[in-house]
Amino acid sequence: MTLPMEWTSILAIYALFWVVSAFVLLPFGVQTHEEAGIEKVAGQADSAPANFRPRLIAKRATVLAAVLCTVYVLNYSYGWITPEDLIFWGPGAR
């Protein structure tokens, strides 16, 4: 087991995971006005969401980022997957 990570590093990694998670989760559960059966406003794009819920996306991103950050920090501490394990071809391949 290696030395534990600084709390500021964990916070920065969590923030990165949160932003990526939020962008990954954006398209899930969103419907266009046509899919929802709602009339569009004049000049509105066909792809505009009818039921955009940023709080729900933020909650889901928070949970997903917490899980991913926890796994990342535990892997850092216990060394389950090392950089050498990720070499699949080339001179250092096993």
Give residue 17's Cα distance to chain centre: 5
Domain locations in the chain as residue ranges? 7-86
CA distance 61 to 17: 8
Residue 30 scores a pLDDT above 80: yes
Query: Is the distance from CB of 69 to CB of 7 less than 8 angstroms?
Result: no
Closest residue by Cα to residue 36 from 20, 19, 53 = 53
- Using pLDDT thresholds of 50, 70 and 90, give the confidence band for residue 2: low
77: left (phi over 0), alpha (psi -120 to 50) or beta: alpha
Output the pLDDT for position 90. Answer: 78
CA distance 9 to 41: 46
Render pLDDT for 40-82 as a digit per residue (tens, 0 to 9).
889 999 889 998 999 999 999 999 999 999 999 999 999 899 8
Cβ neighbours, 10 Å, residue 49:
16
pLDDT above 90: percentage of residues in the chain: 59
Residue 93 scores a pLDDT above 80: no
Taking the model in full, what pTM does it have? Answer: 0.81
